[in-house]
Chains A and B, each alone.
Chain A
Amino acid sequence: MDLSYSAEYEAFRGEVRAFLDEHWTGEDRARHGGNDQLIGRIARPEARVTEFREQAIAAGYLYRNIPRQWGGGEKPFDPLRSAIIREEFKRARAPREMVGQGPSMLVFTLLEHGTDEQKRRFIKSTLLGETLWCQGYSDPGAGSDLASLRTRAELDGDQWVLNGQKIWTSNAQEADWMFALVRTEPDAPKHDGISYLLLDMKTPGITVRPLRQITGDSDFNEVFFDNVRVPRTGLVGERGKGWIVSRSTLKYERALIGDTDINRRTLDGMVMLARAIDRRGRPAIEDPVLRGRLVEVETRLVAAEFHSMRLLTMQAKGEEPGVAGLVPKLCGTQLTYDMARLAMDICAEGAALAPGEPEAPAMGMFVNAYLWSLGILIAGGTANIQRNIIAERGLGMPRDASQKR
């Protein structure tokens, strides 16, 4: 074990720093700092941010796993260099890669299955945030069992005609385009009757209706299709092969690292809160039960941070991580959930007060964290689905008979 970087990597770190000092000034850092948004709404980046991203892509610091031809930074797979870039960009509060389902999913699907025309038209503008995407996967009746979806598309001349409904569609209000799974072969077995379609959200017949969440905000939506006509060229990959097309993102090598930064910031905030809050005449942090619980969640956070370093090392050495690579998501979401509960306990009677209420501890920000911690247990595959994946792919348990194809 050696936690320092070699001279070659430290030299690379120097290059990244020099680039940032030149291209992302102190004023930029103060005005546009960071892009930590993981959940919630995506936004079109400001012009200055896009300008910087273009420079960073040209320097090979962003989108390293995407060919230059299509607008990426194209560099050999090197998780240590990626880690250094991540560290330095974070430190400089510089914009990193766009978050959202367009850059993280659609782009890789197009690289694998898209036509050159689709790649040319969508990849670069998606990487820069000029084209915003939403994901049309879940139907009202098809969530965890996604392949049973019923939103249908029928070919009529050169156009697909869509009817049905998508749900839990984050960012449908902001998105320019949707990538969707629709049923095109109603008579085929359920996995074989699905196609992957791209559709312009301005097409007539699309209605977006925001859903109000338990937080009171509206970040996701229902999307209704009423005879929506989409050009035939919106099909990605072969007709009826949409299920396989949608899985292709898994092939692209990316850092396995679950982002532990948000949990680290929450923990630091909780310690500050526990020092500041009064509990029967003494700071809450002096309460032995709360201290023990704080250390307990901190230990899990520290384990997750070191585990990320271990996975990074394994990737750098080309080792197969096995079950170790499958656990970070569930670990992280479960920890977020438990930390949020502890934060509420630290707030004591203040936990009854709503976000924004001036009397609430930390203006109620921990209430929002508490509610959101449930959202992230569900988003992108519920915790129970994660457990299935860990047990089946990681521990080799047989698939349940009802899931077999």
Chain B
Amino acid sequence: MDFGLTDEQRALAETLRRYLADECPATRVRTAMESENGHDAALWQGLCDLGVLALAVPETLGGMGDELLSLALVSEQIGYAAAPGPFVGAATAVVALANADDADAAASWLPRIASGEALATAAVGESGGRWDADELAAKVDVDNGDGVKQSGQLRGTKSQVPYGSLADLHVVAARDGDDVAVWIVERARPAVVASDLSGNDLTRRLSSVEYRGAEARRIGGRRTFEKMRDAALILLAADAYGGARRCLDMAREYALTREQFGQPIGAFQAVKHQLANLAVEIEPSMSLWWYAAHAFDRIPDQAPRHAALAKAFSSDLFDRAARDSTELHGGIGFTWEFDLHLWLRRSMFDRAFFGDAHYHRARAAALAGW
């Protein structure tokens, strides 16, 4: 019985933590934030060189074929550092390809995506809060059905696609007749029209993408969709947990150094209790996304529900942690120049993207048969 990480996973998390602490201080995050496309290509290449996406690529394709938990640990560290860039979309796309029925598509794209040569993203949600397989309106008119290697023209609009105007490959959830399927579309096609959106989180950019009969290749059905969705939810939960922990660490640090009335404010009980309340929520919640990630690989029946619980809880938690930490910092916390709002803004992404807590709790209730 081991509800913990392997030595390799600990080493991975520590490598990432150090790399991001050294390479991605807040000054660099801000440079990316203020840039045109919000993408720090050198940092992204560095992460790819460390093998963060290769973790989820099968060994037969030159990857590490690791558990989702390892990828989630990367997401946690990215959340902790507020590292800018396309990780969440790219990692979701990689999981989709790694769980595709179309082995040729996986073989041709995964090595290039993992190496950083090509950028991939995931396109699922549509306006009106539609993230559910059965609510998606985007659809593909299949023109040459020959089993798994179908292709056709994709029509529809995806409202929030991470780095949609930059990614070379879009992994898109869209209808195939009555059921959902997962498709790949190359952005270079003229029928893919991506418009950048102005988002609250300046470290992760979103586009709205309209597919006007874009050439799409089917890589998998509902199973691939569910893998892709659950992975995205678990990665977002891990990111939010990492962010929440950073908010607590910053508040703790400030409470120990800021003095008022002749003592550190951390000596005041009101401040202590605010910090303790956060710790009480944050500490046990790590187990939620750990378990969901474990279930993803080992107990697949439980994965959809636990991924939903983890995403709902973590995104609420990150929101509270960011707000409480801001309050605890007093005036400085409300300034643009102080870094805390980078995490506050990331919490706004994590709570909304891929469905909010209310939506995922409703799903979890239905999945329990309530």
Residues on A facing B (Cβ under 8 Å): 1-5, 9, 80, 83, 271, 274-275, 285, 288, 291-292, 294-296, 298-300, 302-304, 306-307, 309-310, 312-314, 316-317, 323-324, 327-328, 330-331, 334, 384, 386-388, 390-392, 394-401
Chain A residue contacts of B280, Cβ below 8 A: 327, 330-331, 334, 390
6 closest A-B pairs by beta carbon, nearest first, are: A306-B287, A391-B272, A307-B284, A309-B3, A387-B276, A390-B276
B273's contact among A83, A313, A323, A387, by CB below 8 Å, is which?
Answer: A387
- State the CA gap A325–B227 with chains docked (Å): 34
Complex CA gap A291/B365 in Å reads 6
Q: Tell me whether A327 and B283 are in contact in the complex, defined as CB-CB below 8 angstroms, given that A294-B365, A309-B3, A396-B256 are known contacts.
A: yes
**Would you call A1 and B4 a contact (CB within 8 A)?**
yes
Are B69 and A1 neighbours in the complex by a CB distance under 8 Å?
Answer: yes
Q: Which of B6, B256, B287 has the most chain A CB atoms closer than 10 A to its own CB? A: B287
With A303-B313, A331-B284 as known contacts, state yes or no: A392 contacts B2, CB within 8 Å: no
Question: Which residues of B sit under 8 angstroms from A303, Cβ to Cβ?
Answer: 284-285, 287-288, 313
CB neighbours (8 Å) of B286 from chain A are 310
Closest to B67 in A: A1
Please report the C-alpha to C-alpha distance between residue A320 and residue B263 in the assembled complex, in whole angstroms: 30
Please list 11 pairs of residues, one from A and one from B, whose beta carbons are closer than 8 Å in the complex, sorted by A's number.
A1-B4, A2-B2, A3-B1, A3-B2, A306-B3, A309-B1, A328-B284, A390-B280, A391-B273, A395-B272, A397-B267
Residues on B with C-beta less than 8 A from A302 are 288, 291, 306, 309
Interface residues of B in 1-47 (CB under 8 A from A): 1-6
B44 shortest CB reach to chain A, Å: 29
Contact partners of A300 in chain B: CB under 8 A:
284, 313
Contact B267 A395 (CB under 8 A): no
Contact between B267 and A401, CB atoms less than 8 A apart:
yes
Taken together as a complex, chains A and B put the C-alpha atoms of A391 and B365 apart, in Å, by 35
Contact with A along B239-274 (1 / 0, CB 8 A): 000000000000010011000000110111101110
Nearest B residue to A311 via CB reads: B3
Q: How far is the CA of A334 from the CA of B277 in the complex (A)?
A: 10
What is the interface of chain A mostly: helix, strand, loop, or mixed?
helix
In the complex formed, the residue of A with least CB distance to B364 is A295
Report whether A271 and B370 are in contact in the complex, using a CB–CB cutoff of 8 Å.
yes
Enumerate chain B residues within 8 angstroms of A327, measured Cβ to Cβ.
279-280, 283-284
Residues of chain A with a CB closer than 8 A to B365's CB? 291-292, 294-295
The distance in angstroms between the C-alpha atoms of A253 and B129, with both chains bound, is: 50
Contact indicator B273/A314 (Cβ below 8 Å) = no
- B370 and A312: CB pair below 8 A? no
* Complex interface residues of chain B between 329 and 365 (CB less than 8 A to chain A): 358, 361-362, 364-365
Tell me, in angstroms, the Cα distance from A313 to B1 when the chains sit together. Answer: 7
- 5 further A-B pairs in the complex, CB-CB below 8 A; given A3-B3, A310-B3, A313-B1: A1-B3, A313-B2, A395-B279, A396-B256, A398-B266
Given the known interface contacts A387-B273, A398-B264, A398-B266, the answer about A307 and B287 at a Cβ–Cβ threshold of 8 Å is yes
Choose from A330, A384, A397 the contact partner of B266 (Cβ within 8 Å).
A397
- B291: contacting residue among A2, A9, A306, A313, CB under 8 A: A306
Q: How many angstroms between the C-alpha atoms of A302 and B82 in the bound complex?
A: 28
| Contact residues in B for A328 (Cβ distance below 8 Å) | 284
The residue on B at minimum CB distance from A291 is B365
Which of A294, A303, A327, A328 has most B Cβ within 10 Å?
A: A303
